[in-house]
Structure 1
């Protein structure tokens, strides 16, 4: 896998944070866990329940030393969300995210959580229509591709 970083951009690789001083391309020749800076949520940005869940999942990727603790926190938060949300589509997607994480595909879970942000915003603002979801309403989940 090959990634390109702009000058000043960071990448989180197996618990290390690398910052490029100029445009650079990196090619990973083996399996690594990484997140680009643009996908990393800062603690002060965890303003909604899904963003808090995302933050717990990202910690599993970027800080391997506390992966187990982050996983426990993620599971606790997910259980709370499943008990709180009533929207059938949200519940279905959260259960799929749980399955993705259980299969150790945390990066894919992050993508799936990000796809739910608009639905969460509608639920939290009370602007969600109460019609039953159709096939086209379903988020484009990464695991559906694999």
Structure 2
């Protein structure tokens, strides 16, 4: 499925080269995600703070050890998960991580998920600070365990 919207008319004065439409493809099962994406765009247009989507491209990828991102699965009610999200170190501090986290949380909320959890290495101060700023609380009642195979 494809979700599509037209940039606001006033935006063409600021960004004359805008395309006539922006679109994003979603799997057929993700109607709620598409609707949430469009609702977010419409909200920003209404508020007058809409900006064209920006794409950050890098030649290298951040690794799990150096990134602050979702490192444990965030499962939806139908069994889907976000296994890892990271922001390249050169793009940090620009709000990209907050946008990614915000969209992930809103998407999961729209799908009816009651909560979401992230796993961050204890010595990853930047990652732990980031998730605390996003409103994620530390759970003292859980112990993370794994079995190497």
Higher radius of gyration, 1 or 2? 2
- Where relative contact order (Cα < 8 A, 6+ residues apart) is larger, the structure is 2
- By the TM > 0.5 criterion, same fold? no
More strand by share: 1
Greater fraction of residues in helix:
1
